[in-house]
């Protein structure tokens, strides 16, 4: 192998094949090509401002970079043996196209500030794509919720039927988790848009490049205040992986609900055939693979977060090659979200509820709290009412009858405060309708909640880019 590495001047021997296989990042960082080329083109213009390049030289570099980009886009880019990473590869190819002037591009620049800039640039665009998918999922949740504002279902704690809720309320609970995720994505996007360009290898640059203008040209919103920090700062990647992990936790929890609710045992939800899979053996099966993968991939993304934090924790100041380990977890997490979310959106858009099955799953035990409230309305302290209703529940169990079928005198024996109208409590819709304070499950409250959610979403869909 020829010794055509970037550091060939100092070296007599070519790198060992085994080193190359370990060290080279081009196989995975080539997807940074567009960001790398955009940063380089902007940097060339900054070098004109600094008096390092003439305008003609910068034009030649820009035209050459355009050609390299076109080669990547057409799938025609051919890596050469010495192409260690995307930065090396682009510069090598640029030299082949425009000649020695290509060698001026790296003046005052290091791959250390370059890779940090490229990755930030790539990540900001990835966040934009992911946030658009999050909004689409939120829209699908709202649309489903609008159709089920009055649809009753059991609400659960400890996977035990607890109190009746509306299906819309259950759907919207995930909407708000995603709203917090979207807010975190926006904050991470902003943190990502700090430009390290001009930091050099670690100490800054002696050239009078206008860092602010360079940053603005790349869509960055600020410049890093410390070159030593800037070249090794991967907080933005950790931030991405944290936000991705927490969002995956939310998606996984939602998926778990839908897996349960669409199981034959519950039968609350029917999944569209296009979003389920069959079994190779058991002809009757319809499996919720999309949801199981949402649940499973949450572990994968959380693993990437744990992995990166461990990579970072022992690093001494400045760039260290360990930092090359930032890319695969980032790329894989972004790919995971961009593959998962469209399928999940499809699941939500096409699922159908079975309101009869949901209603059939309601039992009067879920109105025990309402029974206690009946006593509270008649002046009994809640703690006491709770105990009295507990005895009613036990009595009904002993007599093997539903609460509403227990004779009135049995109620009265437990407490004379139970009124003639106690049976009016056994109305699931009425129970739900009473919980109409802000944030509650009552149809009126949920209508307000959905209106709030639509405002929240529309503000963001109509907003100009947050940067």
What's the Rg (C-alpha) of the chain?
Answer: 30
Distance CA 180, CA 394 (A): 42
Q: Does 252 bind ligand ARG (CB under 6 A)?
A: no
Q: Does 320 bind ligand ARG (CB under 6 A)?
A: no
Instruction: Give the interface segment with ligand ARG, choosing from 35-43, 69-77, 111-119, 221-229 (CB under 6 A).
Output: 111-119
Q: Does 127 bind ligand ARG (CB under 6 A)?
A: no
> Of 223, 302, 323, 403, which one interacts with ligand ARG (CB under 6 A)?
323
Least distance CB 106 / ligand ARG (angstroms): 12
Q: Which residue in 317, 89, 126, 348 sits closest to 203, CA to CA?
A: 317
Contact predicate 251/180, CB 8 Å: no
- Our CB check for ligand ARG shows the closer of 308 and 340 to be 308
> Of 25, 166, 194, 336, which one interacts with ligand ARG (CB under 6 A)?
25
Q: Does 85 bind ligand ARG (CB under 6 A)?
A: yes
Would you call 158 a catalytic residue per the annotation? yes
Contact predicate 445/437, CB 8 Å: yes
Q: Does 111 bind ligand ARG (CB under 6 A)?
A: yes
Least distance CB 445 / ligand ARG (angstroms): 51
Q: Does 115 bind ligand ARG (CB under 6 A)?
A: yes
Distance CA 122, CA 237 (A): 11
Distance CA 425, CA 427 (A): 6
Count of C-beta atoms within a 10 Å radius of residue 27: 11
Instruction: Give the interface segment with ligand ARG, choosing from 58-66, 265-273, 320-328, 361-369 (CB under 6 A).
Output: 320-328
Contact predicate 231/318, CB 8 Å: yes
Q: Does 319 bind ligand ARG (CB under 6 A)?
A: yes
Q: Does 276 bind ligand ARG (CB under 6 A)?
A: no
Least distance CB 167 / ligand ARG (angstroms): 48
Scan for tokens 């080539």, then name that residue. Answer: 30
Least distance CB 35 / ligand ARG (angstroms): 12
- Our CB check for ligand ARG shows the closer of 160 and 321 to be 321
Distance CA 40, CA 1 (A): 28
Q: Which residue in 216, 5, 34, 17 sits closest to 125, CA to CA?
A: 34
Distance CA 135, CA 462 (A): 12
- Our CB check for ligand ARG shows the closer of 111 and 189 to be 111
Which residues make beta-bridge pairs with 270? 352
- Our CB check for ligand ARG shows the closer of 235 and 384 to be 235
Distance CA 136, CA 461 (A): 10
Contact predicate 85/323, CB 8 Å: no
Least distance CB 50 / ligand ARG (angstroms): 22
Question: By CB under 6 A, how many residues form the interface with ligand ARG?
Answer: 10
Q: Which of 2, 18, 158, 280 is catalytic?
A: 158
- Our CB check for ligand ARG shows the closer of 201 and 216 to be 201
Count of C-beta atoms within a 10 Å radius of residue 386: 16
Least distance CB 14 / ligand ARG (angstroms): 17
Least distance CB 60 / ligand ARG (angstroms): 25
Scan for tokens 């939120």, then name that residue. Answer: 138
Q: Which of 279, 333, 399, 467 is catalytic?
A: 279
- Our CB check for ligand ARG shows the closer of 115 and 294 to be 115
For 240-286, the DSSP string reads HHHHHHHHHHHHHHHHHHHHHHTSTTT--EE--GGG-B--SS-TT--
- Our CB check for ligand ARG shows the closer of 59 and 229 to be 229
> Of 5, 40, 112, 311, which one interacts with ligand ARG (CB under 6 A)?
112
Task: Report the site for ligand ARG in 27-56 (rule: CB under 6 A).
Answer: 29
Instruction: Give the interface segment with ligand ARG, choosing from 318-326, 369-377, 399-407, 419-427 (CB under 6 A).
Output: 318-326
Strand 222-223 versus strand 194-195 pairing type: parallel
- Our CB check for ligand ARG shows the closer of 109 and 148 to be 109
Count of C-beta atoms within a 10 Å radius of residue 428: 20
- Our CB check for ligand ARG shows the closer of 23 and 399 to be 23
Least distance CB 6 / ligand ARG (angstroms): 9
Least distance CB 112 / ligand ARG (angstroms): 5
Contact predicate 426/367, CB 8 Å: yes
Q: Which two tokens stand for residue 318?
A: 């400045």
Counting beta carbons within 10 angstroms of the beta carbon of residue 168, is it exposed (0 to 12), middle (13 to 18) or buried (19 or more)?
A: buried
List residues near ligand ARG by CB under 6 A.
Answer: 25, 29, 85, 111-112, 115, 319, 321, 323-324
Which positions are annotated as active-site residues?
Answer: 158, 279
């Amino acid at each position: 192998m020829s010794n055509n590495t970037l550091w060939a001047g100092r070296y007599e021997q070519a790198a060992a094949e085994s080193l190359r296989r370990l060290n080279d990042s081009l196989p995975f960082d080539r997807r940074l090509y567009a960001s790398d080329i955009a940063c380089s083109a902007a940097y060339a213009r900054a070098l004109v401002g600094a008096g390092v390049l003439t305008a003609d030289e910068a034009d030649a570099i820009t035209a050459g970079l355009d050609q390299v980009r076109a080669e990547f886009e057409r799938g025609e880019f051919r890596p050469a043996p010495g192409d260690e990473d995307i930065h090396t590869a682009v510069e090598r190819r640029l030299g082949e196209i425009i000649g020695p002037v290509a060698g001026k591009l790296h003046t005052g620049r290091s791959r250390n500030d370059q890779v940090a800039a490229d990755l930030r640039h790539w990540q900001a665009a990835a966040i934009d794509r992911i946030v658009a998918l999050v909004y689409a999922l939120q829209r699908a949740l709202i649309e489903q919720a609008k159709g089920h504002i009055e649809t009753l279902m059991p609400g659960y704690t400890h996977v035990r039927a607890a109190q009746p809720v509306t299906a819309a309320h259950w759907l919207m609970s995930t909407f708000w988790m995603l709203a917090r995720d979207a807010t975190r994505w926006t904050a991470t996007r902003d943190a990502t848009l700090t430009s390290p360009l001009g930091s050099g290898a670690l100490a800054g640059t002696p050239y009078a490049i206008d860092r602010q203008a360079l940053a603005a040209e790349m869509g960055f919103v600020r410049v890093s205040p410390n070159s030593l920090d800037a070249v090794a700062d991967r907080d933005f990647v950790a931030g991405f992986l944290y936000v991705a992990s927490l969002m995956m936790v939310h998606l996984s929890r939602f998926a778990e609900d839908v897996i349960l609710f669409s199981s034959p045992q519950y039968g609350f939800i029917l999944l569209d055939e296009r979003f389920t899979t069959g079994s190779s053996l058991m002809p009757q099966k319809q499996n919720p693979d999309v949801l199981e993968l949402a649940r499973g991939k949450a572990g994968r993304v959380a693993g990437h977060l744990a992995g990166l934090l461990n990579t970072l924790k022992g690093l001494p100041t400045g760039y260290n090659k360990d930092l090359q380990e930032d890319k695969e977890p980032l790329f894989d997490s972004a790919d995971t979200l961009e593959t998962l979310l469209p399928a999940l959106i499809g699941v939500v858009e096409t699922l159908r509820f079975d309101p009869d099955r949901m209603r059939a799953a309601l039992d009067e035990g879920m109105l025990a709290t309402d029974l206690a409230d009946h006593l509270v309305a008649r002046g009994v302290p809640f703690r006491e009412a709770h105990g009295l209703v507990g005895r009613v529940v036990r009595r009904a169990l002993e007599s093997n009858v539903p609460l509403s079928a227990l004779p009135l005198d049995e109620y009265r024996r437990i407490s004379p405060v139970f009124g003639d109208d106690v049976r009016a409590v056994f109305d699931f819709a009425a129970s739900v309708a009473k919980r109409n304070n802000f944030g509650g499950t009552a149809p009126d409250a949920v209508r307000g909640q959905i209106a709030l959610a639509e405002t929240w979403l529309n503000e963001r869909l109509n907003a100009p880019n947050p940067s």
